Amino acid sequence: MKTKISIKNDLEAVKVVREYMAEKEAFKKAAQEGTATEYMKAKAKQFVQPV
Amino acid sequence: LSNPYDINLHVEDPYLYTFTTEAGIIYSCRFGFVPNLSPLLGIYDLEVRDFLFYPNYPKNGLKKYYDSRILPTIMGMIKNYLQSENHVLLYVCDSSNGKEKARQKLFTQWHKTVQDTMYRHELEIEVSDEETLECGVMVSKACKHHDIIQTELLEKSSGVVLAKYGR
């Protein structure tokens, strides 16, 4: 099953997707430096998760 | 899912897991919180998390090679998370080196090892004429709300991304 959507005409959505992918790339770079676990812990603290 | 690596838990973050391969490579894996989803998902008690995993390659470099124990370790984690029929897993294939379609195919292969208990919905997001994101959603076959996942998560996924990053 595959769902296809397009956001190419939604500039705000495109901008946010690019930020998301940049964040994934930052994770990847941290992994290449051997610090992905610490990076993930730091990122997790940025969100206050509901209980 | 035979012979997985032992998983390390982290008290600071219950959704963070690590494991170390025989070659000494540490994998970091996390089920990330996805806030501000469609309220309907909450009404049906559906918990959606996105999944990231990366191998930590030391700067001095370890030679990459195929390790048959990584698949059962990763899929074991996912299967464990999806034991709850109301848990939903979202993933986005890394596209930084243009191999996102290959990663989606790999996920298709990996999914075959657990397809008796899990559904996988593929999602393709066209970002521009030249760029398409390969994503997917995994959910237990026991889940009773596949129609809600289709309409409120897959078809509204651009909105999910917008909400996640506070726009």
What's the average model confidence in pLDDT over A6-32? 83
Cβ atoms of B46 and B85 closer than 8 Å: no
- Please work out, in degrees rounded to the nearest 5, the angle formed at the alpha carbon of residue B93 by the alpha carbons of B68 and B42: 110
Torsional class of B19: left (φ above 0), alpha (ψ -120 to 50), beta (otherwise): beta
pLDDT tens column, B17-65: 999 999 889 999 989 877 656 777 888 888 989 898 988 876 566 677 7
pLDDT tens column, B97-136: 788 899 999 999 999 999 999 999 998 989 899 889 899 9
Write down the ipTM of this complex: 0.79
CA-based nearest residue to B121, from B94, B99, B96, B143? B143
Instruction: For B41-66, give the DSSP string.
Output: HHHTT-EEEEEEEEEE--TT------
pLDDT grade, residue B158 (50/70/90)? low
- A33 vs B59: CB contact, 8 Å cut-off? yes
- B56 vs A36: CB contact, 8 Å cut-off? yes
Which of A19, A39, A40, A48 should we substitute to test contact with B (largest number of B Cβ atoms within 10 Å)?
Answer: A40
Residue in this structure with the two tokens 């991304």, named with its chain if needed: B161
